[in-house]
């Protein structure tokens, strides 16, 4: 659409109707403006997307007010743009001739004012739609730390970050992606801290996206991530503004997508998915302890059911004698081999998990009762499965919930099926083969240039302070090298100078 505003109101209106239609929610409001010699004007807007009160009080009322200087013929020389800007009580007024921009403005929730015999339109920023209030995070609950979370609306989200990072260099670089959805996507970073190469890489990858619609942030992730077929998430997602802000302060890039309460953090490594904001909100020893627990949990989540199969079907010598006898006694009369038993149980568990996720609250109890009673108790008593297996599978399930990131935890839950399969084929060899395969794969991945398994391997000495360990805050003098920040010094020796906000300004 290369056309421009013609200035002929009738023609322009027809063009608009042809472009955005005359649907129920689209309003074409005609007015006569006394101040402009009763010139005919047209206001176009989408009903649900604008602030109606503002439209009435700040646009229509001043426009239709009787002209103060109607009688003073001489003083009527004010040019039209100045007149509009000074008459309307509205924060943003922008003049445009470009139809595309005008239509985009309308569908985004702005009102557009067209004046007869004037070959430009005024875009009036009076967006305002029903939106969820900022509430507590639901999927990333932390005991301590702030309780606010991102919402579906971009503006409050940006405000949440700006309130935390008042650095002059903080930038919200917007772009509009999706030919049809025209979704706003914002890259957030601190200029002067962020690595320009990575920033450029993220920007180009985003700009390369050619698709019709971006519904949620995962669409973006799938377009820009490094190995598209990988099962592991390679960018952190969070609904916590504190976590996002901390990432920005490390020199990483946060990508916000309109209509998604989750933001994406761009270079992320494997170990980030085992970290949680609470590590920083409690004593450092606890932080370190929790991280080691999570590492253990990840190991258990992958291998608990495989370990059961390994020990009961392949390497019984590893069990202490009394335990071996107990398991053997409990398995008397169990019809299937341990491998099949474990496989069935794991699948059942996933089914229960999936069912539990989406059930209305009222039904949840039923599922948990049916799950525990039928699968836990009755199946064991009926001799269909061994009780030790139930313990192994449950350990794996609980462990997988201990991983803070839902995406990583799901990936690991999925991965235990191949591991279990290999273990059932070749015992310890199969298990080790699968584990080596997975770790090798993890090591080969990259996230925007950062090796996914760093800083453990390749080993970065300085980054160990905040990977599996969590040292006291004053010790963490440098930012993680993950995002290769331009300024790697977080604080000098004394902890007093933590507040370094003057570094970035252009």
Partner 1 sequence: MIRKLVASILLIITLVIPSGCWDMREINEIGLVMAVGIDKSPRDPNLFLVTVQVANPQGSGSSGGEKQKNESQVWIANAEGKTIFDAIREIARFSSQRIMWAHNNIIVVGESLARDDITPVIDFFTHNHELRMKTWMAVTPLSAGDVVSSNVGMGNAPGRSITEVFRFQNLTGLGLPSDLLNVYHDFTSENNNLLISSLTLNEALTQAGLADISENIVEQIEVSGLAVFDKNRMLGYLTADEARGLSWFLGESPNLVISLPHPQNQNKSVAVEMNAVKAKIDSRLNQGAPEFTIEISGSGHISEEDTFSSLTINEFKSTLENLAEQQIAAEIRSSVSKVQKEYRSDVLRFGKTVHVQHKKEWNRDLKYRWAEIFPESEVEVVVKVSIESSTLNQVPLRNYKELANTNDQSQDK
Partner 2 sequence: MTKAKISRMQYFLLIPNLLFPKAIGITAGVTARRVGGDAWTAMSIGFVVGASILLLMILLSSKFPNLTLIGIADQVLGKWPSKLVGLVLLIFFIIGFAVSANVMTLHLKEYFLIETPFIIICLIYILLCMYGVALGVENIIRYALLGFLGCLLINITMVFGTINDFEWINFLPVFDRGLMANIAGSIYVLGDLALAIMAIGMIFPMLNDSNKAGWLTFWALATSAVIIMIWPILELGVMGAGAMEQYVVVCMQQIRCAQLTRFLPRYELIMVFFFTFATFVQSATLYFCAVYSVKQTISVKKDWYIVVPLAFVLLPVTYFMARDHNDYVNFLDYPWSQICTALSIGIPLLLFIIALVRGQLMKDNQSAAGSSSA
Q: Which of 324, 348, 411, 415 binds partner 1 (CB under 8 A)?
A: 324
Of residues 134 and 443, the one with the C-beta less far from partner 2: 443
- Concatenate the DSSP letters of all residues of 49-89 into one string: GB-HHHIIIIIIHHHHSPPTTSS-GGGTT--HHHHHHHHS-
Burial class (CB in 10 A: 0-12, 13-18, 19+), 452: buried
Q: Which stretch binds partner 1 (CB under 8 A): 202-210, 268-276, 288-296, 327-335?
A: 327-335
Residue 210 corresponds to which tokens in the numbers above? 């050619």
Residue 353 interacting with partner 1 (CB under 8 A): no
Cα 142 off chain centre by? 17
Residue 464 interacting with partner 2 (CB under 8 A): no
Residue 384 corresponds to which tokens in the numbers above? 């269909």
Q: Which of 20, 443, 469, 471 binds partner 2 (CB under 8 A)?
A: 443
Of residues 167 and 341, the one with the C-beta less far from partner 1: 341
Q: Does residue 46 contact residue 109 with C-beta atoms inside 8 Å?
A: yes
Of residues 325 and 374, the one with the C-beta less far from partner 1: 325
Size of the site for partner 2 (CB under 8 A): 25
Q: Which of partner 2, partner 1, none does 398 bind, CB closer than 5 to 8 A by kind?
A: none
User: How many whole angstroms separate alpha carbon 385 and alpha carbon 179?
Assistant: 54
User: How many whole angstroms separate alpha carbon 217 and alpha carbon 185?
Assistant: 9
Q: Which stretch binds partner 2 (CB under 8 A): 207-215, 220-228, 249-257, 309-317?
A: 309-317
The binding track of 221-260 with respect to partner 2, each residue x by CB under 8 A or -, is: ----------------------------------------
User: How many whole angstroms separate alpha carbon 456 and alpha carbon 462?
Assistant: 11
Q: Which stretch binds partner 2 (CB under 8 A): 10-18, 106-114, 198-206, 425-433?
A: 425-433
| Phi and psi at residue 31, to the nearest 5° | -140, 160
Least Å from the CB of residue 438 to partner 1: 13
Using CB under 8 A as the binding rule, the residues of this chain from 368 to 387 that contact partner 1 are 387
Residue 277 corresponds to which tokens in the numbers above? 């904001």
Of residues 335 and 458, the one with the C-beta less far from partner 2: 458
Burial class (CB in 10 A: 0-12, 13-18, 19+), 450: buried
Paired with 4 in beta bridges are 98
Q: Which of partner 2, partner 1, none does 436 bind, CB closer than 5 to 8 A by kind?
A: partner 2
> What interhelical angle do 361-370 and 338-358 show, nearest 10?
160
The footprint of partner 1 (CB under 8 A) covers 229, 312-314, 316-317, 319, 321-322, 324-332, 334, 337-339, 387, 424-427
The footprint of partner 2 (CB under 8 A) covers 310, 314-315, 317-318, 320, 426-429, 432-433, 436-437, 439-441, 443-444, 451, 453, 456-459
């Amino acid at each position: 659409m290369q056309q421009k505003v013609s200035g002929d109101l009738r023609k322009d209106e027809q063009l608009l109707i042809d472009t955005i239609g005359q649907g129920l929610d689209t309003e074409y409001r005609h007015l006569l403006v006394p101040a402009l010699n009763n010139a005919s004007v047209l206001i176009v807007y989408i009903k649900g997307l604008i602030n109606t009160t503002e439209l009435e009080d700040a646009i229509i009322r001043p426009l239709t007010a009787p002209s103060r200087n109607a009688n003073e013929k001489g003083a009527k020389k004010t040019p039209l743009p100045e007149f509009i800007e000074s008459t309307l009580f509205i924060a943003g007024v922008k003049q445009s001739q470009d139809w595309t921009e005008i239509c985009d403005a309308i569908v985004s929730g702005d009102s557009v004012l067209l004046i007869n015999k004037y070959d430009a339109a005024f875009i009036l920023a009076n967006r305002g739609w029903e939106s969820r209030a900022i509430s507590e995070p639901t999927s990333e609950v932390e005991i301590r730390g702030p309780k606010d979370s991102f919402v579906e609306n971009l503006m409050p989200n940006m405000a949440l970050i700006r309130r935390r990072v008042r650095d002059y260099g903080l930038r919200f670089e917007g772009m509009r992606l999706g030919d049809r959805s025209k979704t706003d996507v914002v890259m957030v970073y601190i200029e002067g801290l962020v690595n320009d190469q990575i920033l450029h890489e993220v920007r180009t990858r985003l700009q390369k996206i050619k698709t019709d619609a971006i519904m949620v942030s995962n669409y973006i992730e799938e377009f820009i991530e490094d190995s598209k077929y990988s099962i592991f998430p390679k960018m952190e997602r969070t609904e916590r503004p504190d976590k996002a802000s901390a990432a920005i302060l490390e020199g990483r890039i946060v990508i916000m997508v309109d209509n998604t309460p989750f933001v994406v953090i761009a270079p992320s490594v494997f170990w980030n998915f085992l970290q949680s904001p609470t590590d920083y909100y409690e004593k450092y020893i606890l932080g370190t302890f929790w991280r080691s627990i999570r590492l253990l949990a990840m190991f258990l989540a992958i291998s608990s059911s495989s370990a059961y199969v390994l020990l009961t079907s392949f390497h019984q010598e590893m069990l202490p004698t009394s335990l071996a006898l107990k398991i053997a006694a409990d398995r008397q009369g169990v019809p299937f081999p341990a491998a099949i038993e474990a496989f069935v149980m794991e699948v059942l568990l996933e089914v229960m998990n999936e069912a539990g996720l989406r059930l209305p609250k009222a039904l949840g109890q039923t599922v948990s009762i049916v799950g525990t009673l039928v699968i836990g108790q009755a199946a064991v008593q009926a001799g269909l499965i061994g009780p030790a297996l139930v313990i192994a599978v449950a350990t794996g399930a609980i462990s997988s919930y201990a991983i803070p990131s839902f995406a990583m935890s799901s990936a690991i839950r999925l991965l235990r099926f191949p591991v279990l399969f290999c273990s059932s084929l070749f015992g310890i060899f199969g298990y080790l083969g699968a584990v080596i395969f997975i770790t090798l794969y993890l090591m080969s991945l990259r996230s925007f240039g950062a090796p996914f398994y760093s800083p453990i391997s390749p080993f970065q000495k300085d980054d160990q302070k905040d990977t599996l360990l969590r040292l006291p805050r004053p010790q963490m003098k440098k930012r993680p090298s993950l995002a290769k920040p331009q300024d790697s010094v977080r604080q000098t020796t004394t902890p007093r100078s933590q507040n370094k906000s003057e570094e970035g300004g252009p």
